[in-house]
Every structure is written in structure tokens, then in C-alpha cells.
């Protein structure tokens, strides 16, 4: 895109706050925020650096989203950077995105808090409820306050929060109806038109009409007080205060806790495209926390020192999602971002760049922490680079276990940012079949089908890790293709620890951090599968139950020792007697009966 084309495009943009994206072929190159979209986008017609000039030349489209406030633009920018990982933005690898409220496209729209809306419309809301377009509000910085408001809306207007899968095909209302959180449009306890009117009332609240929710809460509070239900009245009072403050500053911002009791100290070090931000937290004058965060900084034609302000500005916005801001921030230098400065000022955060004294000493300590880590790549990033993936933050591991075809089970474990996410573990009983490839095909098809049909509440992984070599991987790939779930998959066999992909095999060094990550996922999937198999195997009814003198505990010991009834049948009397609780008489009885 040349300067003339860019100026012409900018002339059509509104003079309002918002977010803009430079895109090429559907890929986002850069995300920026602006107080005045027209003026900011027009400034790119005369780029200030060679890097920005290259970005503009590559772009073939500009996409914008208008917001109500400058702070909303700031937060929406952070969300879009997290989602699209644009090449020309500074990107915090371990940040969280900001929550948004979504009314889904459905005959009976549901209300939900989400970090990844189906379609991000205007930040102040898009379509009407009950249409084929999703309506989104936000982003917001305080998830706790947002959850309070959404619960108040559901209790007041009875909007559903269930998935479309749970909504479909019901013949009686669920528990939410019984406790007053939903008016049950699924079973037509409420007429759909009446339900949609309630949805519209909720939308009007997020559009700024506070009284739509505050007035019913106030009436309910007054009634509770008159009936001497003082505890309930106090609860409603607190909720009413939250609702009335929600639109007070335009975006439900975080409240500072005052008196500078909590101070965060920030240090930045940059090497090439890698940046490390070290954060120290002091409370009541005592240093309590130290952590480091890795960012990906785009290449710049300037010196590394001059890139520090941009890294600081990006970190401050992207990091403090879902986190309470400190009373004060001590920085190594100014971040030079007017919008970030206005946001922090509105939140009551004191920002200082100390030159001498104890505060300067703390900043020096943060800088030392940052310099110790800069240039080191995280396991997930190294794995993504090695396999040519966009990311490898979320991995899912799979394994099957059985005893010669009996008690066949499959495991599905999840790792996020290199650590096990046990709340996302799943397991499945498989049809008994002495065929590892067929079992793996069944297991992956089960996971894929649930994802495609929207019956799995977990996000799609960046990579599937199959416990096994070429055969198990090909079985998994067949299942993915049959179901139509497009997720990369690799295999990792125990024998030579070679990573098998659809196209080639990798023999990485034994000390490679990204290999260690895959090994942890593979080993955990194996452990979880074997554990479930043993539990299932010990619980099944077998022909051993018919043998006199063989109780449940002895049966378990036999199956654990020999693996299956078939192996028990083939064991000699001496081998049977080696099992605790099996004497000569019982061993011979087993031999005769089996």
C-alpha cells in the first residue's frame, strides 16, 4: 500500500477512538490504538522508520473498530495482539487477554463472558439479539466486577448461560431454571419473543443505560429491607453499587488500593527479537515477588536501548489484564505512550523513573534480573520454531492401554505453557480390541468429533502429541482427516525418542528443552492411560469370580501379576503360587477351572 492510497483510505475513517489493523491476505501485520483514527492512520503515509515503511508496503487492507473511550481502545488493542500475534507488534508470550461479554447468534441468545468472542463487532456492541450476528461488548479489565454484573443480569432477566448443545433437545428445564438464573426458553417456559425483549434490556445496560439493571436491584433491595431480610438487603446493596459504578468511567476499570502500599518495579533487557521484562513486587516496603516475562519484539533499525519504551508500553497493557494494578510503578525509563499514561493516571497509579535512592536501587535490581534471562527461548516457543508452527502453547497428549485387547482405554492429557493442566484431562473407555492403531484411531476420532460438534468445552490445542511412532501417528491423522478437524499432530516413540511428523522425522539432542517438553506430555499421557486401565481392569467381572477361594483382592493381585485372564490360564502352578494369597490348593483349583 503506497502513501497516496493510505491517505485516501484514512480520509474515510472517523475521528473517534478505536483500534486499527494493517492486514495482508487476511493476516494481521500490526495492531494499533488511536484517540483519532483518521489522524493516526494518515500518519503512516510518512513512516518514521524503515521497519514501519516495510509494514505499510506489505499491507493491502486496513480494518478498524471504533470504541467509546480511549481506554477501551487500549484494552481492545491488547486483546487483538494476543489473538493475532502480529509480526510488527511487541507480543507478551505469557499474558492473558481481557474478558468481554458476548450475546450469541441464536434464536434464544445466551450471555457469556469470553476472551475469544465468535465475532468481535464494535466495542460498544454490534447487532441486535435474536439475529444471526453475535453481539460483543468490552473489553473490560476487572473480571470479578464483570461476573457480578452478568450474574445480576441473569437473576433479573433470566438469560441462559448454557451451551447450544445443552440447550437443544431438552424436554424439561435444567437447574438454572429452578434457582432463578434462567427463564428456560429451551422448553418454552417463556415465549421466545418475551425472552428476546429481556435480551434487549440486557444489551441496553451494556450500551450505557444503567437504570435497566440498577432500578430492579434497588426495588428488590428496598423490599428485602422492609421485610427485615437485612443480610439479603446488604448483599443487594453491594451488588447495586457495583452495577452503578460499572459505567462510571466508561470501561469498568480496576480500582487502585491507595497509599502506595503495593509497588511494582520493572526492568527491561532486549537482545535481537527477544525481550525480557523482570517484575519485582514490594508490599509495605518488603520485596515479596520476583518474576520474568518473555516478549517477542519486532526487528528495529534503531539501537536496542531506543526500543525499551515500546516494550514497556506493550508490557504494561498486556500484562495487567486480569491483575490488579499496583499503587506505583517504578520504571527504568519513560514508556512514551500517551494513551497508556492517560490510562494509568485514570487508575490512580503513580509512575516514576527514579534517579537515585532506594527506588533507583530496586530498578537496578530489576534490570539485573532481566539481563540474566534475555535471549533464552521458552520450551513452547522452541518447539513451535522447530516444527514450523504458529505456536505450541497448548499441547494435548494421547495414549491407549489394554491387556491383550481387554479393558482397552484411551487417555487425553493437556499441557499449557509447559505445565500440566489436570482440569483438562479426559479419558475414554474403548471397545476391546487388540490393535493399538485401531484404538488410537478411535480415540483421536472421539476427541476430534467432540471439538467439531462443539461438545468439548476446552479450546483447540496447538499440537497433538501421540504416544507412538509412525503407525500410531498415521492412525491419528486418518481420524483427523475423516472428522475434518485441522490440528497438527506428531508422534513420539519411546525407543529412540525420535519425533515423527507427517513429512519427516527429527532426531533432536537429548538435552533439547523442546524435546523434554514433548517427553513430559507423552509420559503423562502414558501414565494416565495405564492408571485408568488398571482401575478398569480391576473392576471388571471375569471368570475368576467363579473360582472358589478367589475374592476381589486376590483377583486384583492375579490380574496385576499376569495382566489378563488369558495369562493366568497359561501360568503354571508354581507361578500362580508366587501371588500373595494363592496356596497350593487354590493354585491347582485355578488350573483345573481355567
pLDDT tens for the 594 residues of the chain, in order = 888 888 888 888 888 888 999 998 888 899 988 888 999 999 998 877 777 888 888 898 898 888 777 877 887 888 788 778 888 887 776 545 567 788 988 889 999 888 766 543 333 344 444 555 678 776 676 777 888 889 989 988 899 988 888 888 788 888 888 888 899 999 999 999 889 988 988 888 887 778 888 888 888 888 888 888 888 888 888 888 888 877 654 333 222 233 578 899 999 888 766 788 888 888 776 666 667 777 766 655 444 446 888 889 889 988 886 678 899 999 999 988 888 898 898 888 999 998 877 788 788 878 877 776 565 456 787 888 889 887 788 999 999 987 776 778 899 999 987 778 888 899 888 887 778 899 999 999 999 999 998 888 888 999 999 999 999 999 999 999 999 999 999 999 877 788 999 988 998 888 788 898 899 899 899 988 888 777 665 544 455 666 667 777 777 777 777 766 677 777 888 888 888 878 888 888 877 776
Sequence ranges of the domains in the chain = 3-92, 100-246, 262-376, 383-537, 541-593
**CATH class held by domain 262-376:** alpha beta
Which three-class secondary structure string do you get for 188-222?
CCCCHHHHHHHHHHHHHHHCCCCHHHHHHHHHHHH
CA max distance for the chain: 97
Instruction: Compute how many other C-beta atoms are within 10 angstroms of the C-beta atom of residue 272.
Output: 10
Q: How many residues are there in the chain?
A: 594
**CATH class held by domain 3-92:** alpha beta
Superfamily (CATH H level) for 383-537 = UvrC, RNAse H endonuclease domain (3.30.420.340)
Q: Give the Cα separation of 239 and 161 in Å (integer).
A: 20
- Three cell numbers, residue 455: 461438545
Q: What are the strands of the beta sheet with 61-66, ordered from one edge?
A: 27-34, 18-24, 61-66
**CATH class held by domain 541-593:** mainly alpha
Q: Give the Cα separation of 82 and 96 in Å (integer).
A: 8
Phi then psi for 8, rounded to 5 degrees? -65, -40
Q: Are 85 and 391 in contact (CB under 8 A)?
A: yes
- On the question of a common fold for 262-376 and 383-537, the answer reads yes
Q: What is the pTM of this model?
A: 0.41
Q: Going by C-beta distance under 8 Å and a sequence separation of 6 or more, which residues neighbour residue 465?
A: 395, 396, 397, 398, 489, 490, 491, 492, 518, 521, 522, 525
Amino acid at each position: 500500500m503506497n502513501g497516496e492510497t493510505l491517505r485516501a483510505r484514512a480520509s474515510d475513517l472517523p475521528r473517534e477512538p478505536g483500534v486499527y489493523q494493517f492486514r495482508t491476505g487476511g493476516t494481521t501485520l500490526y495492531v494499533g490504538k488511536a484517540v483519532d483514527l483518521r489522524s493516526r492512520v494518515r500518519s503512516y503515509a510518512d513512516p518514521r522508520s524503515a521497519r514501519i515503511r516495510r509494514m505499510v508496503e506489505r499491507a493491502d487492507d486496513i480494518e478498524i473498530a471504533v470504541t467509546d473511550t480511549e481506554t477501551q481502545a487500549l484494552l481492545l488493542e491488547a486483546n487483538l495482539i494476543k489473538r493475532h500475534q502480529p509480526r510488527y507488534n511487541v507480543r507478551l508470550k505469557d499474558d492473558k487477554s481481557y474478558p468481554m461479554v458476548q450475546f450469541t447468534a441464536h434464536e434464544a441468545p445466551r450471555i457469556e463472558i469470553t476472551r475469544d468472542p465468535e465475532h468481535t463487532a464494535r466495542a460498544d456492541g454490534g447487532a441486535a439479539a435474536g439475529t444471526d450476528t453475535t453481539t460483543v461488548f468490552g473489553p473490560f479489565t476487572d473480571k470479578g466486577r464483570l461476573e457480578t454484573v452478568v450474574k445480576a443480569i441473569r437473576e433479573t432477566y433470566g438469560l441462559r448461560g448454557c451451551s447450544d448443545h445443552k440447550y437443544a433437545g431438552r424436554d424439561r428445564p435444567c437447574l438454572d431454571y429452578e434457582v432463578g438464573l434462567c427463564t428456560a426458553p429451551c422448553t418454552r417456559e417463556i415465549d421466545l419473543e418475551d425472552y428476546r425483549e429481556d435480551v434487549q434490556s440486557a444489551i441496553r445496560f451494556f450500551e450505557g443505560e444503567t437504570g435497566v439493571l440498577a432500578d430492579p436491584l434497588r426495588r428488590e433491595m428496598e423490599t428485602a429491607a422492609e421485610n427485615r431480610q437485612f443480610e439479603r438487603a446488604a448483599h443487594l446493596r453491594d451488588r447495586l453499587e457495583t452495577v452503578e459504578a460499572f459505567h462510571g468511567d466508561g470501561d469498568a476499570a480496576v480500582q487502585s488500593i491507595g497509599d502506595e502500599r503495593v509497588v511494582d518495579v520493572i526492568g527491561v533487557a532486549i537482545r535481537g527479537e527477544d525481550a525480557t521484562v523482570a517484575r519485582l513486587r514490594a508490599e509495605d516496603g518488603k520485596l515479596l515477588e520476583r518474576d520474568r516475562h518473555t516478549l517477542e519484539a519486532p526487528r528495529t533499525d534503531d539501537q536496542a536501548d531506543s526500543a525499551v519504551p515500546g516494550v514497556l508500553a506493550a508490557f504494561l497493557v498486556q500484562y495487567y489484564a486480569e491483575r490488579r494494578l499496583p499503587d506505583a510503578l517504578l520504571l527504568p525509563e519513560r514508556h512514551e505512550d500517551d494513551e497508556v499514561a492517560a490510562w494509568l493516571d485514570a487508575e490512580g497509579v503513580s509512575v516514576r523513573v527514579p534517579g537515585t535512592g532506594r527506588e533507583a536501587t530496586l530498578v537496578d535490581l530489576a534490570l539485573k534480573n532481566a539481563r540474566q534471562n534475555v535471549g533464552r527461548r521458552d520450551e513452547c516457543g522452541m518447539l513451535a520454531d522447530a516444527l514450523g508452527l504458529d505456536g505450541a502453547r497448548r499441547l494435548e497428549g494421547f495414549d491407549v492401554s489394554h491387556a491383550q485387547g481387554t479393558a482397552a482405554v484411551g487417555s487425553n492429557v493437556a499441557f499449557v505453557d509447559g505445565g500440566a493442566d489436570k482440569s483438562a484431562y479426559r479419558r475414554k473407555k474403548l471397545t476391546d480390541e487388540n490393535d493399538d492403531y485401531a484404538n488410537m484411531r478411535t480415540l483421536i476420532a472421539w476427541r476430534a468429533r467432540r471439538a467439531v460438534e462443539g461438545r468439548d468445552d476446552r479450546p483447540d490445542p496447538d499440537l497433538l502429541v501421540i504416544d507412538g511412532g509412525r503407525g500410531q501417528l498415521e492412525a491419528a491423522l486418518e481420524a483427523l482427516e475423516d472428522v475434518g478437524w485441522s490440528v497438527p499432530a506428531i508422534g513420539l516413540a519411546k525407543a529412540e525418542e525420535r519425533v515423527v511428523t507427517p513429512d519427516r522425522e527429527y532426531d533432536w539432542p537429548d538435552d533439547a528443552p523442546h524435546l523434554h517438553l514433548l517427553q513430559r506430555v507423552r509420559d503423562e499421557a502414558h501414565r494416565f492411560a495405564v492408571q485408568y486401565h488398571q482401575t478398569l481392569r480391576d473392576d471388571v467381572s471375569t471368570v475368576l469370580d467363579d473360582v472358589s477361594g478367589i475374592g476381589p483382592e486376590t483377583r486384583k493381585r492375579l490380574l496385576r501379576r499376569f495382566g489378563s485372564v488369558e495369562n493366568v490360564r497359561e501360568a503354571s502352578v508354581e507361578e500362580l503360587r508366587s501371588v500373595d494369597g494363592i496356596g497350593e490348593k487354590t493354585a491347582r483349583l485355578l488350573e483345573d477351572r481355567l
